[in-house]
Amino acid sequence: MNLETAEIIKVGIADMNAAASPKKLRTSGLGSCVGLVLYDHERKNAGMAHIMLPTSDLARNEKFNRYKYADTAFHDLLKQLEKMGSPASRLKAKMAGGAQMFAFKTQNETMRIGPRNIEAVKELLTCHSIPLISSETGGSSGRTIEFDPATSLLTIRTVNLGTSII
Amino acid sequence: MSLKFEQLDVLKEMANIGAAHSATALSLMLGRKIGMDVPDVKAVTFNELTEAMGGAEREVACIFLRVAGEISGSMYFIMEVTQAEKFVREITGHQSLNLSNPPYSEYGKSAIKELGNIVIGSYLTSLSDLTKLSFIPEVPEFSIDMFGAVISEGLIELSKAADFAVLIRTVIREEDRQERHSFQGHLFLLPDYESFDHFYRALGVSDES
């Protein structure tokens, strides 16, 4: 299959998706949200989540979107990849996001959500012994990320800083 | 939570009054005729919200401030980057002010924040007069970045309780429509979840009545 025509699976805000090569996964406009990629390099399977908040303990309703929170999205991502033949023991991780988009002077907890999202994801990875291969987090820029399960490369685009591949 | 038709209608009326005040304030500041379009009030998912503005990746110039008080939420004034640049050049008289590429002019950034203070401040003041509820605006911040990234910051509080936002949007633009690139900005209010009840009670369309 021609790379140019490879299908791109979109992941929205507070959303999650999984795909196998030659498909690619993409999420746009990550601010303080974290884009987490779990992938199986040999089988070329990958899953991506666009996480808004660090823990489902913050949910004020019983019924909530599981993909919005790091812990529940992580759990569902693992289950999805396991169904595709990639259990946690085969997985590696990459992530991007967790920026602080506005330089608010107040020490408002809400405005520290980026770093909290990053910490939450790191803890979950440690907990499941999944190695974090590379990441580009923090700063004050929005990011669009695209993961190619064929190469295990994560392409990160920002408005001001150009494109990087990790 | 469900939103009844008359409740959305009341929010629309409220937005009409707020936006009219903003347009007047801007007209006075610019010495030009600024008008507004009928506000758009609807409940949308987070993804519908970004689609409404042309996608999460679209680059925008954005003034954002959090509102605290009986009514809390996030307030945005969003423009095309080229418009924002044109605007600051016009009001300051400095044709070299740059907002298209970093590093952005500090002077240009403060001019934009001042614009935000005026547009958003007059909107909130009129809402406060109308509802007799307190609004405490925090200091505005400015960013040029992807729409999805800036708007999600304002959704964080709300997202703990809901998977949708009530988008209260008005377009403020120069009345002379002949010039295609005349001034245009989008004014958004995204109330936090707890604020809806306060709004409805103050405006007499509460569920309990």
What pLDDT does A108 receive? 59
**ipTM surpassing 0.85, yes or no?**
yes
Write the residue in A31, A106, A144 that is nearest to B152 by C-beta: A31
Structure tokens at B189: 């209010």
Contact B160 A33 (CB under 8 A): no
- Which of B75, B142, B143, B144 best probes binding to A when mutated, by most A CB atoms within 10 angstroms? B143
What pLDDT does B179 receive? 58
- Which of B160, B164, B193 best probes binding to A when mutated, by most A CB atoms within 10 angstroms? B160
Does B161 lie at the interface with A, CB-CB under 8 angstroms? yes
pLDDT digits (tens, 9 = 90+) for A92-115: 999 999 999 887 655 555 568 899
Regions in chain B scoring below 70 on pLDDT? 1-6, 176-182, 205-209
Q: How far apart are CA A85 and CA A87, in angstroms?
A: 6
- Which residues make Cβ contacts (< 8 Å) with residue A57, sequence separation at least 6? none
Q: Which residue of A has its CA nearest to B104?
A: A160
If contacts are CB pairs under 8 Å, which of residues 120-139 in chain A contact chain B? none
Q: State chain B's mean pLDDT as an integer.
A: 83
Contacts of A12 in chain B (CB under 8 A): 46-47
Mean pLDDT for the stretch of residues A131-157: 96
Higher pLDDT, B99 or A42: A42
The yes-or-no verdict on residue A78 having pLDDT over 90 is yes
Contacts of A52 in chain B (CB under 8 A): 152, 155-156, 159
What pLDDT does A52 receive? 95
Greatest C-alpha distance within chain A: 51
What pLDDT does A96 receive? 97
How big is the CA angle at A13 (ends A8 and A15), to the nearest 5 degrees? 70
- Which of B139, B152, B192 best probes binding to A when mutated, by most A CB atoms within 10 angstroms? B152
The yes-or-no verdict on residue A1 having pLDDT over 70 is no
The reported pTM is 0.88
Under DSSP, the state recorded for A22 is: T
Contact B143 A101 (CB under 8 A): yes
Q: Write the CA distances from B205 to B19, B29, B69, B73, integer angstroms.
A: 21, 36, 20, 20
Contacts of B102 in chain A (CB under 8 A): 160
Q: Write the CA distances from B65 to B30, B137, B158, integer angstroms.
A: 22, 7, 15
Write the residue in A12, A60, A159 that is nearest to B161 by C-beta: A60
pLDDT digits (tens, 9 = 90+) for A51-66: 999 999 888 777 888 9
What pLDDT does B101 receive? 80
Q: Write the CA distances from B98 to B76, B83, B108, integer angstroms.
A: 22, 12, 7
Dihedral angle computed from the Cα positions of residues A11, A14, A15 and A21, in that order, rounded to the nearest 10 degrees: 50
Contact B47 A106 (CB under 8 A): no
The yes-or-no verdict on residue A90 having pLDDT over 60 is yes
- Which residues make Cβ contacts (< 8 Å) with residue A10, sequence separation at least 6? A17, A26, A27, A28
DSSP string, chain B: ----HHHHHHHHHHHHHHHHHHHHHHHHHHTS-EEEPPPEEEEEEHHHHHHHTT-TT-EEEEEEEEEEESS-EEEEEEEEHHHHHHHHHHHH--TT---SSSSPPHHHHHHHHHHHHHHHHHHHHHHHHHH---EEE---EEEEEEHHHHHHHHHHHHHTT-SEEEEEEEEEEES-TTSTTS-EEEEEEEE-TTHHHHHHHHHT--TT-
Mean pLDDT for the stretch of residues A129-135: 96
Q: Which of A8-12, A160-164, B71-75 has the highest mean pLDDT?
A: A8-12
Does B163 lie at the interface with A, CB-CB under 8 angstroms? yes
What pLDDT does A84 receive? 95
Do the beta carbons of residue A44 and residue B168 sit within 8 Å?
no
Sheet holding A16-20, edge to edge: A16-20, A45-51, A34-40, A92-97, A132-137
